[in-house]
Amino acid sequence: MLLRAGSRHFMQKRLLRFQTGHFVIRQMHLAFRLVALLAFGGVSPAVLAQPMQLPGAQPFNAPGTQQAAPPATGGPVVPRAPSMPAIKVAGEDAIIGRPLRQNGGLGEATFEKTATGFGLKLTVNGFQASNLVEPCAVSFGETPLPVTSLGRPAGVPRYRLEAPICPIAFDVLDGAFLVVEPAQPCVVEAAACRIDPRGLWGPDARTLPSRAKEIEAARGVAERAVREGYRVLTAKADAVEQRAIAREQAGFSAERELICRSFQREGQLGFCGARLTEARAASIRARLGLSSEPAKPATKPRPRPAAPKPGTGPLPLQ
């Protein structure tokens, strides 16, 4: 009982001190002592009121002032005009003397140089006109037929083969050519064979796996060139033309897929897609008025003869 009464008396005394503000007064005394100690050490209260500044930070502004902007390091920034990167455009030398096959496996074509220009030796596979499941083949001759140059309407060399049985036109690409005409398959009455030479004629697909990295790199360069080319065309066009360019860009992917889906091993290697993308990049460059001529190898300067060393020349006459 005595212990409980003592505890009750102690708690009442502490509570009374708190209620009378004893603890508050003690805290205020401690604050005054701290200010006095700092003042005695030479630190004024005005300095204590300044905010802390980290090393390397901008100095604080005085009240009512604004910080000036840092001085400009150069002139106004001029936006870079869109441009199309250069691409590799092959010429006739890329296919001369190389046996090419339709979709990498059918028929055979050889583009050769002749005394009057160029010629094409061609054999096209097809199906019998009366039975489209029976295969057949049509040879255009044992010797190359002359071809006529049509210039570069799409940025790459184009030629026409005026064969009576089936005239064709084709674009020369890098190690391949793309037949763009006729619009419909040809029926050769003498052979009762229906042939369709359209599509990409390239190397035998069985020889392409060793060039997989080369084909992938070429496809990447051509894809970037096409994207930038369409961006330049869009920047120079009005609203109506821009919509037409957007439809053309979207339609190119579908057109490429339609042509290349028959090329052998296309899903693994992408040879046809790479060549068609390069052809589209060359076409865009032609529309922009940019040169697409194949790069000519730089001629090495002839080495100058070395100067004779002193004492090695002919002796003077005396």
Could you report the per-residue pLDDT of 149-161, keeping only the tens digit for each? Answer: 999 999 999 999 9
pTM: 0.67
Q: How far apart are CA 27 and CA 38, in angstroms?
A: 17
- Percentage of residues of the chain with pLDDT beyond 90: 59
Res. 206: pLDDT tops 50:
yes
**Residue 303 corresponds to which tokens in the numbers above?**
């080495």
Res. 227: pLDDT tops 90:
yes
Q: 199-227 burial, b if ≥16 CB within 10 A, otherwise e?
A: bbbbbebeebeeeeeebeebbebbbebbe
Q: ∠ at Cα 227 (224, 232), nearest 5°?
A: 120
Please report the pLDDT score of residue 312 as a whole number. 54
Res. 300: pLDDT tops 80:
no
Q: Which pLDDT tens digit goes with each residue over 34-86?
A: 555 555 555 555 555 555 555 555 555 555 556 555 555 555 555 555 577 77
SS3 assignment, position 271:
helix
161 and 114 Cβ atoms separated by less than 8 Å: no
Number of residues that make up the chain: 318
Res. 32: pLDDT tops 80:
no
Q: Report the chain's terminal Cα–Cα distance, integer Å.
A: 146
Q: Which pLDDT tens digit goes with each residue over 118-134?
A: 999 999 999 999 998 99
